[in-house]
Amino acid sequence: MAKVFVIAEHRDGRLKKSTFELLGASAAAGNETHAILLGDGVAELAKELAHYGAQKVHLIQDAALKLYSSEAYTKAITPVLKSASPDIVLASHTPTGRDFMPRVAARLGVGLASDCTQLAFEGSKIKARRPVYAGKATVEVEFLGAGPQLATVRANALGAPKPDTSRTAEILNVTADLSGLKTKVIEVVKGASGRPDVTEASIVVSGGRSLKSADNFKMIEEMADVLGAAVGASRAAVDAGYRPHRDQVGQTGKVVSPALYIACGISGAIQHLAGMRTSKVIVAINTDAEAPIFQVADYGVVGDIFAVVPALTQELKKLKEH
Ligand SMILES: Cc1cc2nc3c(=O)[nH]c(=O)nc-3n(C[C@H](O)[C@H](O)[C@H](O)COP(=O)(O)OP(=O)(O)OC[C@H]3O[C@@H](n4cnc5c(N)ncnc54)[C@H](O)[C@@H]3O)c2cc1C
């Protein structure tokens, strides 16, 4: 059994599903599972962390933590870990987790396994699997030496557990010394999209250069709406100005691991595959039967997206109605 700390992530007053995945995986392995919850006026969220497996919640509230900042998070988290000496510290491999975890690892003088897609708890140790070479191979890593083992885990990789609302957690109020911060986040300006983020959605419908215009992405959005999915894009589509960069999937975009990834008119270049090949089920629609995307696809349609996508959307609508 290990002592596992999960750094909770939340936005707009809601905890992220990826945090529940980490708590659930740790609790299911019989570990002593703690959460660290940072923010300002976020105490209510502690209850929900308990529902997913947190036995203790280290609650750090401060005005300087109202909006995420890597400096403030690092300064608040590090002393808690130093005094509690957990075996394992987990965070989601989101832009936030990718930002503060390396800093925390450096402060603790320990290693970090980033972008893990599998975790195995073995006593007080973990073995983690992470994709390398743009997803062409997977390595298994373990930690040598003393100190906590830090890992960030890709969203949707572990699967969220069902909440048990009868569970409660001990709340430990922690005061952080956040004096002398060199940076302050004043405002977060949101993008216009009201859709789920590609990294968190369990279904992603993506379009490529073949969409030919931003306007044509409406048909991708329509399918996404029926499925409750996020809209993704290849870099070629983003570079052409059809979609904002936040939707880009791939090596220089976002890494996604949804239950279902539908690639519409995307060739499947290695840099795109790096961002989506760990998706559970991949569907590809492409006019070119030799397109590399078909090598990773579970289901493929050789056809024109301008005919296949609207037809598929209609069928999905019918299925949903019934
Ligand atoms: C350093 C580096 C980083 C990169 N990072 C990324 C990244 O993060 N993400 C990413 O996506 N790319 C990335 N790329 C670019 C990548 O190499 C490809 O150029 C890009 O993914 C191609 O996008 P695409 O598949 O939309 O376009 P194309 O390669 O032009 O493919 C279009 C596909 O659509 C098909 N098609 C055409 N018309 C239709 C139709 N009517 N119906 C159905 N199918 C049709 C074609 O057969 C073709 O397979 C990177 C490249 C480099 C060098």
Specify the CATH number for the domain of residue 49. Answer: 3.40.50.620
Instruction: Give the residue numbers spanning the domain of 267.
Output: 203-321
- What stretch of H or E contains 20? helix 17-28
Residues contacting 197, CB < 8 A, separation 6+: 230, 246, 254
Cα separations in angstroms, 257 against 177, 275, 276, 279? 37, 8, 6, 4
Tell me: do 8 and 136 sit in the same domain: yes
Tell me: do 156 and 220 sit in the same domain: no
Give domain status of residue 153, yes or no. Answer: yes
Picking from 174, 193, 225, the residue at the C-terminal end of a domain is: 174
Per-residue pLDDT of 76-111, as tens digits, reads 999 999 999 999 999 999 999 999 999 999 999 999
Tokens for 246? 């936040």
Number of domains present in the structure of the chain: 2
Contact at 8 Å (CB) between 37 and 8?
Answer: yes
What's the per-residue H, E or C state across 205-231?
EEECHHHCCCCCHHHHHHHHHHHCCEE
Give domain status of residue 161, yes or no. Answer: yes
Nearest Cα to 265, choosing from 296, 241, 295, 288? Answer: 288
Per-residue pLDDT of 106-161, as tens digits, reads 999 999 999 999 999 999 999 999 999 888 899 999 999 899 999 999 999 998 89
Specify the CATH number for the domain of residue 245. Answer: 3.40.50.1220
Ligand 1, residues 211, 255, 267: which to mutate, most atoms within 8 A of Cβ?
267
Q: How far is the CA of 207 from the centre of ligand 1 (A)?
A: 9
Nearest Cα to 96, choosing from 34, 17, 11, 156? Answer: 11
From atom 40 of ligand 1, which residue's Cα is the shortest distance away? 304
- Model confidence at 193: pLDDT above 80: no
Tell me: do 121 and 257 sit in the same domain: no
Q: How far is the CA of 63 from the centre of ligand 1 (A)?
A: 44
**pLDDT the model gives residue 299:** 98
**pLDDT the model gives residue 196:** 85
Percent of the chain with pLDDT over 70: 99
Ligand 1, residues 223, 287, 295, 308: which to mutate, most atoms within 8 A of Cβ?
287
CA separation for the pair 53, 19 (Å, rounded): 11
Tell me: do 31 and 164 sit in the same domain: yes
The pTM of the whole model exceeds 0.95? no
Give domain status of residue 70, yes or no. Answer: yes
Give the residue-averaged pLDDT of 258-262: 97
Give domain status of residue 184, yes or no. Answer: no
Give domain status of residue 181, yes or no. Answer: no
Tell me: do 132 and 214 sit in the same domain: no
Give domain status of residue 198, yes or no. Answer: no
Tell me: do 99 and 163 sit in the same domain: yes
Picking from 129, 154, 174, the residue at the C-terminal end of a domain is: 174
Give domain status of residue 180, yes or no. Answer: no
Ligand 1, residue 285: give the atom nearest the CA: 43
Tell me: do 20 and 128 sit in the same domain: yes
Tell me: do 230 and 305 sit in the same domain: yes
Per-residue pLDDT of 221-248, as tens digits, reads 999 999 999 999 999 999 999 999 999 9
Chain mean pLDDT for the chain: 96
Cα dihedral 51→57→61→65 (10° resolution): -80
33 lines ligand 1 (CB under 6 A): no
**pLDDT the model gives residue 321:** 86
Ligand 1, residues 271, 276, 312: which to mutate, most atoms within 8 A of Cβ?
271
295 lines ligand 1 (CB under 6 A): no
Tell me: do 153 and 267 sit in the same domain: no
Give domain status of residue 183, yes or no. Answer: no
Cα dihedral 275→280→283→289 (10° resolution): 70
From atom 23 of ligand 1, which residue's Cα is the shortest distance away? 236
- Model confidence at 173: pLDDT above 80: yes
